[in-house]
Structure 1
Amino acid sequence: MRRMMWMMAAMMTNARAAPVTTATDKEQASFFEYYSGAHATGGLLRPQFAVTTVKGKRHVMATVDGPAQRATLPLCRQPRTVFDYDPKAPKDKRWSERAPLQLVWYSQQPQCGAQPETPIRLLAPLPEMEILTLIQQHPTLLNNARLLMAGNTSCAPSRSRGYRLTALDRAKDGLPVLVFENAVDEEARIAVRRSRNELVAWSAECASAGDSRQKKR
């Protein structure tokens, strides 16, 4: 009996200590009120809420995706807007809007339809044909970049991990960049250049994906 009571007490303690992983009803209501006052929804609004911990502090975000549109075949585009919540700000200023973002993905379906599980973020303007080529060739470019990663101290420990393409960007020197993330929240940025008629991996940089996202905010 005593053991059972101890186990129940431990479970209650763990439940109290468990972090909140979604926005509260009050926070969600606050977002709907803010959004309806600042935007014409034009239909049913279905934001996605996420809660993260940034430097030990709870951070709430809301994401709203617009309609997907067909770009250069077989490329799809979709606008995305992210909003940040500040509970200490005045009531009418608790939500702030980041710069709009574009999502892209490869689809051979007649209509773009629903986005895939991991759409690709477009972090810098790139020509549509270049976007399409980078998406199509990213597995080969990643494999070719592993030798570059082996020679980079920030990339070497994780060069053999599995990565997925999460974004496209442009480096300061103008080269297109493939942004990959792995299962342990590490990011690899592979710059690509054209050699004759082929794309080749040119350089590699690695960091924590969380740190990289914070720099871009």
Structure 2
Amino acid sequence: MRAKRVVAGMWMATTAAAMAAPPAPVTDKEQAAFFDFYSASHATGGLLRPQFAVTSVKGRRHVSATVDGPAQRAVLPLCRQAREAFDYDAKARRWSAAAPKQLVWVHHGSRCDAQPETPIELLAPLPDMEMLVLIQQHPTLLNNARLLMAGNTSCAPARSRGYRLRALDRARDGLPVLVFENDIGEEARIAVRKSRNELVAWSAVCTAGGR
């Protein structure tokens, strides 16, 4: 009986370790397949530098890749950049294009060649000046929104956590939305409107695991 318990304990420990282990990194074959797929539909004309990522989705290994286009100056000091996204089907052993993304950030240099570590994703079309003002004022708007979050049952437990601006969006009623993510992956969507000549936080909606 004792031997069976030891074996069962070892099996459970091994299973738990396997479940906790990170997914295997992208392989040379997966990378080579991506370069073949991409070059078949794109004129690379130079050095291609895709960024590969391997994550676990519902317990399954998921491989993706992104390719960033050239950064462009919008209104000073706003920069924007197109990002192509791709997913790998391990069963079919082939790549496919996912929905492209638009990234924006503020950079005061003469050129937009210094993308930050966490650029802001543009989820809906917004005027350049509106994006710039939202990005510049997002710390103040977040602090003001914490009062709204206190009165919202989905936001209140996490209102004192640290948040970073992850994306800009537009609500169904047309109001611009600041999409924040906190240090445990929860999302807070803060709708903003003008009051006289100032932007004010208007509403807050929070969800767990915003991505």
Q: How would you bin the TM-score normalised by the shorter chain?
A: 0.7 to 0.9
> Within 5 Å, which residues of 2 pair with 1:45-84?
45-84=48-87
Q: Which runs of 4+ in 1 moved over 6 A?
A: none
Paired with 1:142 and 1:21, the residues of 2 have a C-alpha distance of 38
In structure 2, the residue matched to 1:144 is 144
Paired with 2:51 and 2:68, the residues of 1 have a C-alpha distance of 9
Structure 1 counterpart SS, 2:61: strand
Paired with 1:59 and 1:20, the residues of 2 have a C-alpha distance of 8
> Within 5 Å, which residues of 2 pair with 1:102-181?
102-181=102-181
Gaps of 5+ in 1: 1-12
Paired with 2:161 and 2:24, the residues of 1 have a C-alpha distance of 27
- The size of the alignment, in residue pairs, is 195
Paired with 1:177 and 1:27, the residues of 2 have a C-alpha distance of 37
- Name the TM-score, length of structure 2 as normaliser: 0.88
- The superposition leaves residues 8-43 of structure 1 with CA deviations (integer Å, 9 ceiling, x where unpaired) of xxxxx79x8432353122211111111111211132
Paired with 2:66 and 2:197, the residues of 1 have a C-alpha distance of 39
1:27 to 16, 26, 30: 30
Gaps of 5+ in 2: 1-13
Structure 1 counterpart SS, 2:82: strand
Matched, 1:97 2:130: no
In structure 1, the residue matched to 2:7 is none
Paired with 1:169 and 1:43, the residues of 2 have a C-alpha distance of 34
- The superposition leaves residues 117-172 of structure 1 with CA deviations (integer Å, 9 ceiling, x where unpaired) of 11100010000000000000000000000011111111111100010101100111
Which amino acid in structure 2 is aligned with residue 67 of structure 1? Answer: P
In structure 1, the residue matched to 2:42 is 39
- The superposition leaves residues 40-63 of structure 1 with CA deviations (integer Å, 9 ceiling, x where unpaired) of 113211111111111221111101
